[in-house]
Copies of this chain bind each other. A is one copy, B any other.
Amino acid sequence: MTAVVIAVGSELLRPGRRDTNGDWLVERLLDLGIETRWRSAVDDDVERIARLIATAWKDAGVVLLTGGLGPTEDDRTRDALAVAFDAPLTRDPAMTRWITSMFSARGRVAGPRQWRQADRPQGADWIENALGSAPGLLVERDGRVLAALPGVPAEMKAMFSATVAPRLAAAGGGALARETLRIAGRPESWVDEVVRDLYGTRGTETTILASPGSVELLVTARGADEAEARARLAALTGAMRARLGIDLFGSNEETLAGVVGHLLAARGATVAVAESCTGGLLGAAFTEVAGSSAWFRGGIVGYADDVKSSLAGVPAALIREHGAVSEAVARALAEGARAACSADFGLGVTGVAGPGGGTADKPVGTVHLALADDGAGRTLKLDWPGDRELIRKRAVTVALDLLRRRLLA
């Protein structure tokens, strides 16, 4: 089965707005084995919404609409459904009473404005809204399903899960299973090369996505039922895992900082940081993990060179000799963090994030990373270009991965 997802609301066409309801529905549909063929965001115009509904109704077995079901003049989804299905709106007396009673239960009075929410096109059923006053609408015809849900995310999600999803699961042919594999410390082209010949595996689909310093493989598998879909998924991701080895750091919602935290917690160890160019981002990544106080001690942001010396104990002479962006200073930062915060491991980061500050010798993108432990530690140099944000994020990811590999060694 296939789907079309349409979000209604002029505000969704404003700069900076995103149709997060659509994002959510596309994912939930995939969980039900239903792939979305197209999705749209459309303004509050009856004719345009109706034309998109009519086009969608030709294209897919499932059509999901969000928004435009409230009581105001701007809420036009009901009218658009009436136009698209050529089915006049009639006001449902039972729903009118329910809306009135819902309002009076909250000490408010419902009038003609609110009663508009009791209008529905002939042949449509109500979808109950347990959290708000705007009911949804359901049209089932010729094996096709259309559901119109409110734009308020909490109401939309509750109604989809309670009413729409079970109906789609019952009607669905086949099932999908999916998993995201997460890789650090390798470029996208390397990952692509390693797993590329598996992309064509029957009944599966793989998408590769790159983030600063990490790569994701989004794998979905289709089967006649959930068991078959899961078996196919497990076979394919198993093959990928075997090839990726230690470069694979986790799956699905796991984060690199979270994985490192688990490894630290498992051995009762702690970490501290001393950052220059990342300015606190590495500490922020560690402390994004709930419960990180069990293994994250703290850190130093040594942005000015004399702060590197006074707080992290980096000798001023070392900075003079090698420059602030150097392996020697990264190592001293890592050791300083470890000592100053009494941690088992210390991470040090120093680099040129740009846009200014680059030299022929140390261009923008040069980052030195160091790990201090009870032995010789480890160091790493990055020299890939990028903008300030990319260079900083990549440095954080690679620093986390440096510690992860040390903990697995």
Contact = CB atoms under 8 A, between A and B. Distances in A.
Interface of A: 11, 13-18, 23, 26-27, 30, 35-43, 45, 48, 51-52, 55, 58-59, 178, 207, 209, 216, 218, 272-273, 275, 277-288, 290-293, 296-304, 306-308, 310-311, 340-342, 353-356, 388-389, 392
A36 B13 contact: yes
Nearest to A24: B15
A301 B288 contact: no
Contact of A40 (B40, B51, B293): B40
B300 A298 contact: yes
A301 B341 CA distance: 10
Given A27-B15, A388-B288, A283 B301 contact: yes
A37 B13 contact: yes
B38 A42 contact: yes
Given A288-B279, A299-B280, A218 B307 contact: no
Give the oligomeric copy count: 2
A356 B291 contact: yes
B300 A301 contact: yes
A38 B27 contact: no
A293 B303 contact: yes
B303 A388 contact: no
Nearest to A303: B298
Nearest to A35: B13
Nearest to A59: B48
Nearest to A209: B16
A87 to B, nearest CB: 20
A254 to B, nearest CB: 15
12 contacts: A16-B218, A272-B307, A273-B280, A277-B287, A280-B284, A297-B304, A297-B307, A298-B303, A301-B301, A304-B341, A310-B342, A311-B340
Given A37-B42, A287-B353, 5 more contacts: A16-B218, A18-B18, A280-B284, A307-B342, A311-B341
Contacts of A42: 37-38
Nearest to A12: B39
Contact of A284 (B36, B55, B284): B284
A299 to B, nearest CB: 4
Given A283-B279, A303-B292, A13 B39 contact: yes
Given A14-B218, A301-B301, A284 B288 contact: no
Given A280-B275, A303-B292, A207 B14 contact: yes
Contacts of A288: 279, 388-389, 392
Contacts of A342: 306-307, 310
B304 A298 contact: yes
Contacts of A392: 284, 287-288
